[in-house]
Amino acid sequence: MSDLNKVMLIGRLGAKPELKQLSSGDAVTRLSVATSWQSKKDGVREERTEWHHVSVFGKNAENCVRYLDKGKLVFVEGHLHNAHWKAKDGSDRYEREVRAETVTFLSSRSEAKAA
């Protein structure tokens, strides 16, 4: 049996992406993607929103910054990545993010102008 680390999300951006440069010179942007789902608790449907941190690299990052804005609908395919670092105060910090392999823009151009 082989391992599998695959994430697929369809959701809306919580903020306009901003381009940053890594020390290697590579472009990177972070997307904050909201997904909604419904749970059924005590027979009552309740809509819940989950927020996902998505990192996008290279040309994909540049395209996201150029064409996406807050509220736009995207389809993200990638894998989970666990990051660990030391904060300035010496404490350990952890974060789980989605590393995007592809980002497909699902909002139409007319929707892009309206938002």
Q: Is the pLDDT of residue 113 over 60?
A: no
Q: What is the pLDDT of the chain when averaged over all its residues? A: 91
Please name the residue ranges forming H helices in the chain.
58-67, 109-114
To 5 degrees, how large is the angle CA 26–CA 31–CA 34?
A: 165
Quote the pTM value.
0.82
**Residue 59: pLDDT band with limits 50, 70, 90:** very high
pLDDT average, residue stretch 35-49: 83
State how far the Cα of 75 lies from the Cα of 87, in Å rounded to an integer.
32
State how far the Cα of 89 lies from the Cα of 103, in Å rounded to an integer.
35
